Amino acid sequence: MEIIAQYGHIIVILACVFGFFMAWGVGANDVANAMGTSVGSKALTLKQAIIIAIIFEFAGAYLAGGAVTATIRKGIIDPEILSGTPELLVFGMMASLLAAGLWLLIATHFGWPVSTTHSIVGAIVGFAAVGISADAVHWNKVSKIVASWVVSPVTAGVIAFFIFRSVQRLIMDTDNPFANAKKYIPGYIFLVGFIVAMVTFTKGLKHVGLHLSWGESALASIGIGIVVMVIGIQMQRRITPDPEADRDYHYASVEKLFGILMMFTACAMAFAHGSNDVANAVGPIAAVVGVVSAGGEVVQKSAMPSWILLLGGAGIVAGLVMYGHKVIATVGSNITELTPSRGFAATLAAAATVVVASGTGLPISTTHTLVGAVLGVGMARGIAALNLRIVGTIFISWIVTLPAGAGLAIIFFFMFKGMFT
């Protein structure tokens, strides 16, 4: 208790610095996943993707980032065990942020799309199990999170497979693909607007003070879906068939229409990612601030101050702008060849999986979800369409992430403990 009373301000400042560093890593590594399909399919330029990400990542983090944060903050460790020694929780959360941030920096340097969720959960479990005791960890909660890492890429892959199959059946394999694309794409655009709005209303806006019933949320979401669809139809009108381009590639004009759709799915993915992954950076900060502001008491429930969500959103944006291009190349062009129609199927499937998981409070991995979705689209075209060497490298980097996060966190935990006690 005395340590927290004596060094409270320093601890909060350090937690904010490490949290910003962690959020920077999320932006550099994870947002690149969210934008990789759009850039890889050439539906958006790198500059356009970054602008979309800045706006929608920030909105997702701020408006809908509350539910998952609770799981990261108080779901993994048992606060009861730490009630006598709150400083251990504080040191552990600081160590977890620094460890996860450092690992993300290393992974991004090599262009590996690793999971920020893995990094932070591995770090928290590592310091708690070694630095405090194995009983301090809610192992049933951890096993649920681990299960979600398997379920999320499989779910996204299956959804992406069927979305792309529907595109092939309704549009690509018909006598007049361009006319059918104009007919069916507005429906897909409506779906994008509806899914994101629905999850935001039902789960995301409680901490902003907006409480809507399920029916009200559904009505508002249908309204938003229709508005988004009308905007999409207006944008589509400007595109006419280009016989010259179609001679080289039969679907060139159709892919231009899907390029418009990719703008909407890119916004959806960025929003979904911000809502799910800001928790990785701000959950531990909130835990530290909660303990320090309660004078050393380990509180079970603490409100998420909006300035912490703002800090996380700002860190994510900074990381993307400064270092995001490396991982964008891996996800966008190295796993399988993406066109706007394929990229759309992958992104919509991933966004749908992430927003639903975000709403239920499960901190799934956006990376796993998106890579699973890209694999699903590749599988719809046959196994030969996948670059299996790159896929293998990605899987190995996923496996290494957990022990890397845990090991670094244990080192930093004992370092902080030695510095302050």
**pLDDT of 224:** 92
Are 406 and 137 within 8 A, CB to CB? no
pTM: 0.79
User: When comparing pLDDT for 411 and 151, which is higher?
Assistant: 411
Amino acid (one-letter) located at 262: M
> Could you identify the residue written with the tokens 């892919």?
255
Local confidence band at 73 (pLDDT 50, 70, 90 cut-offs): low
324-377 pLDDT, tens digit per residue, is 777 776 665 566 667 888 888 888 888 788 777 766 666 677 778 888 888 888
User: Residue 11: CA atoms inside 13 Å, Cβ hemisphere, count?
Assistant: 35
> Could you identify the residue written with the tokens 């231009």?
256
Q: Which two tokens stand for residue 258?
A: 């899907």
Are 273 and 354 within 8 A, CB to CB? yes
Domain boundaries, the chain: 2-178+267-420
Q: Which two tokens stand for residue 272?
A: 């979904």
